[in-house]
Amino acid sequence: MVVVKVVKRSFRECIYWNGFDTYLIWESPLLLAAKENDVSAIQKLIASHTCDLHERGAVGETALHVAALYNNLEAAQLLINAAPELVNEPVTSELYAGETALHIAVVNKNLGLVKALLEKGADVNGPRATGYVFRRRSDSLFYFGEHILSFAACSGSEAIVQLLIENGAKIRVQDSLVFHILILQPNKASACQIYDLLLCYDKKEKGLGDPDAVLNYEGFTPFKLAGVEGNTVLFNHLMQRRKHVLWTFGSLTSTLYDLTEIDSWGDDQSLLELIVTTKKREARRILDLTPVNELVSLKWNKYGRPYFCILALFYVLYMICFTMCCVYRPLKERSFNKTNERDNTIYVQKLLQESYITSEDKHRLVGELITVVGAIVILILEIPDTFRFGITKYFGQTILGGPFHAIIIVYACMILLTMVMRLTSTNGEVVPMSLALVLGWCNIMYFARGFQMLGPFTIMIQKMIFGDLLRFCWLMAVVILGFASAFYIIFQTEDPDELGHFYSYPMALYSTFQLFLTIIDGPANYEVDLPFMYGITYSAFAIIAALLMLNLLIAMMGDTHWRVAHERDELWRAQVVSTTIMLERKLPQCLWPRLGICGKEYGLGNQRYLSKTLDRMCDDCISAIPYCFSSNRSKIFRLQIPEPNSSWSINRT
């Protein structure tokens, strides 16, 4: 394995480094002899009685570790015979803490050395490699777990795995189970073989239950972990073990797929929910596999899409109601005189006592009550999910809705704030009201995720706003601040009536912002003499802002569009899953019955199953229940599932 070779090479390079441009192995005759498999030198050192066989190197390794690392069987046997206690001695440094010679031997697939160590009483269960190198990290090259059996399983040697189990190695010993660790290995074909081998031995131990149901410390079974990691090979391998063949008829095969751990109905930690909440893109590949793809399509087509369209319709009507309430809000003519010549106000907000008198006011009151009740309902539905997923994940992940959840929560808060200001006759309700209008109508983009053509575009908008545009705004703010200050200083001595765009510092900032976006052209009065520095400063600003930075933003957005376009279908499927789960959680179960076939009908327990019929000759997938799961199938067949008491038997694979 390439990974193992890289690990062994890096281990050899750093295990003897002492920090002073020398390798401690050359300073120790015993360690040097163990490295070079110099049997005669080791014999002389043992016979001299002056050599400390427990001598340790730079990272706390013994001579036996060195011999095991370099596959020197003869040297290792001499050391074992001379000092049997070395067999279970771990490396003591923080980097490789807990690693024994047996750990190294199984990774090197040195069967002879493994046998020799076991004959001398090597402990196969106790030692745990807990050093920094062996921990699972984002930058680590490998993760073999902690126990010797998991090291052997990850190395892919069936003979060594069998030997360890026959010598008492426990399959169920746990940091993660060895089954979980196999899911994380890059060599997926080897992992499948070792997985099956371990299952054969595990079944011989009675009273332990199904290993597929054992959770690791993150709460994942091996099956769920394969889905979360996006390991399609092992996921399919485990799925084949969970399926039951109902019947075969020529080239047709009807199969029941176990939905346990997959279906989100009544399960807060289902595979579907884990896939849409993980940040790993590889996990979304699981949505294309059987039976996940079929289950999602069935849920969406039968319940998700109709309910989602109804929800979208209600929301649009709700926003129309709120908008009408804002348009016809209670106003009266201004009764006090102007104190500022720039004040252009002619209407002001009515007091509470004056706001609900006429029949039109009462009609508006009905709409306002609907708006407030809707805002309260939104908060009741959104806040529990915020705590359930966590603020960062709920508002940050695009698949879950990301900023749309933040938008709708802020919208609801603005509605309640407007209500409080109306009840207390506080001036300024136009501020939260206008914000609520913008946020409420922008949130309609959330419902685009229900349509395959529009869904990916909302993701592009989110990524551009919170990725490209957010980074660009920092650069824009610096440029505007610098040039606005320069423009203000340049025109500070000029007549503001002639050059009004920069008469104050706030106005200078706003005018420079308009210049940056090319909303206005050079805001100067060219009928009078302009300061000399204005031409130089404005020319520099035009080059930096209009030519450089705006084109930079366009290029950044184009790159984002290109990246999202390559995974648009994958993202839309993930959006559909997320939306389906959301609706399933919010709606009462009487409106969303559980899908699938009960296993009791076929003597398979209480689990739910999904039936699928496959034509092996033409590779057309067809369903045994009256729904087409895949949109790209041109042929749809409907077959009847045989009765449970029929003569056709269930073949379990």
Q: Are 1-214 and 462-586 the same fold in CATH? A: no
Task: Kindly report, residue by residue over 469-481, the tens digit of the pLDDT.
Answer: 888 888 888 888 9
Task: Kindly report, residue by residue over 345-372, the tens digit of the pLDDT.
Answer: 777 788 888 888 888 888 999 999 999 9
* Of 270, 178, 182, 259, the residue nearest 226 (C-alpha): 182
Residue 629 has pLDDT above 50, yes or no: no
pLDDT score, position 371: 95
Residue 213 has pLDDT above 50, yes or no: yes
* Of 615, 640, 643, the residue nearest 626 (C-alpha): 640
pLDDT confidence tier of residue 499, bands split at 50, 70 and 90: low
How do the residues of the chain divide into helix, strand and coil, expressed in percent and rounded to 5? 60, 5, 35
Residue 455 has pLDDT above 70, yes or no: yes
pLDDT confidence tier of residue 102, bands split at 50, 70 and 90: very high
Q: How would you classify the pairing of strands 597-598 and 243-249?
A: unpaired
Mean pLDDT of 459-472: 82
**How many other CB atoms are found less than 10 A from the CB of residue 94?**
12
Task: Kindly report, residue by residue over 158-208, the tens digit of the pLDDT.
Answer: 999 999 998 888 888 776 788 889 998 888 889 999 998 988 888 777 666
* Of 295, 243, 255, 294, the residue nearest 642 (C-alpha): 255
pLDDT score, position 631: 39
pLDDT score, position 25: 55
**How many other CB atoms are found less than 10 A from the CB of residue 348?**
13
Mean pLDDT of 622-628: 37
* Of 349, 335, 522, the residue nearest 429 (C-alpha): 349
Alpha-carbon distance 315 to 247, whole Å?
Answer: 47
Q: What share of the chain has pLDDT > 70, as a percent?
A: 86
Name, of 326-330, 352-356, 448-452, 506-510, the range with top average pLDDT: 326-330
Between residues 628 and 611, which one has the greater pLDDT?
A: 611
pLDDT confidence tier of residue 248, bands split at 50, 70 and 90: confident
Alpha-carbon distance 170 to 149, whole Å?
Answer: 8
Q: What is the DSSP letter of 196?
A: H
* Of 225, 228, 272, 262, the residue nearest 575 (C-alpha): 272
pLDDT confidence tier of residue 635, bands split at 50, 70 and 90: very low
Q: Which residue has the tokens 């409907």?
A: 638
Residue 311 has pLDDT above 90, yes or no: yes
Residue 129 has pLDDT above 80, yes or no: yes
pLDDT score, position 643: 40
∠ CA 612-618-624 to the nearest 5 degrees?
20
Mean pLDDT of 569-578: 84
Dig out the tokens for 378 from the structure. 């939104």
Alpha-carbon distance 241 to 23, whole Å?
Answer: 51
Residues 398/462, Cβ–Cβ less than 8 Å: yes
Strands (E), 338-496: 347-349
* Of 106, 104, 39, 47, the residue nearest 78 (C-alpha): 39
* Of 232, 240, 234, 204, the residue nearest 222 (C-alpha): 234
Instruction: Indicate the SS3 state at residue 259.
Output: coil
pLDDT score, position 510: 87
Give pTM, 2 decimals.
0.76
CATH code that applies to domain 462-586:
1.10.287
Alpha-carbon distance 571 to 287, whole Å?
Answer: 10
pLDDT score, position 107: 92
Phi, psi values for residue 174, rounded to 5°:
-135, 125
The overall average pLDDT reported for the chain is 81
DSSP H helical ranges for 176-291? 178-183, 188-204, 222-229, 232-242, 271-277
Q: Which residue has the tokens 């204005």?
A: 534
Residues 71/116, Cβ–Cβ less than 8 Å: no
Mean pLDDT of 493-507: 75
Mean pLDDT of 437-449: 91
pLDDT score, position 369: 95
Per-residue buried b or exposed e for 476-494, using 16+ beta carbons within 10 Å of the residue's own CB:
beebbeebbebbbebbeeb
Contacts of residue 39, defined as CB under 8 A and 6 or more positions apart, other chains included, come to 74, 75, 78
Domain boundaries, the chain: 1-214, 294-447, 462-586
What CATH superfamily is the domain 1-214? Ankyrin repeat-containing domain (1.25.40.20)
pLDDT score, position 618: 53
Q: How far is CA 478 from the centre of its chain?
A: 34
Task: Kindly report, residue by residue over 587-619, the tens digit of the pLDDT.
Answer: 888 888 888 888 787 778 788 888 887 766 554
Task: Kindly report, residue by residue over 53-89, the tens digit of the pLDDT.
Answer: 888 888 888 889 999 999 899 999 999 988 889 999 9
Q: What is the DSSP letter of 638?
A: B
Residues 442/407, Cβ–Cβ less than 8 Å: yes
Instruction: Indicate the SS3 state at residue 397.
Output: coil
pLDDT score, position 22: 31
- State the SS3 of 560-626: HHHHHHCCHHHHHHHHHHHHHHHHHHHCCCCCCCCCCEEHHHHCCCCCEEEEEEEECCCCEEEECCC
Residue 463 has pLDDT above 60, yes or no: yes
Among 226-235, 359-368, 449-458, the range scoring the smallest mean pLDDT is 449-458
Mean pLDDT of 320-325: 95
Q: How far is CA 125 from CA 61, 119, 169, 324, in A?
A: 20, 15, 6, 72
pLDDT score, position 7: 45
Residue 651 has pLDDT above 60, yes or no: no
∠ CA 9-12-18 to the nearest 5 degrees?
140
Alpha-carbon distance 526 to 358, whole Å?
Answer: 55
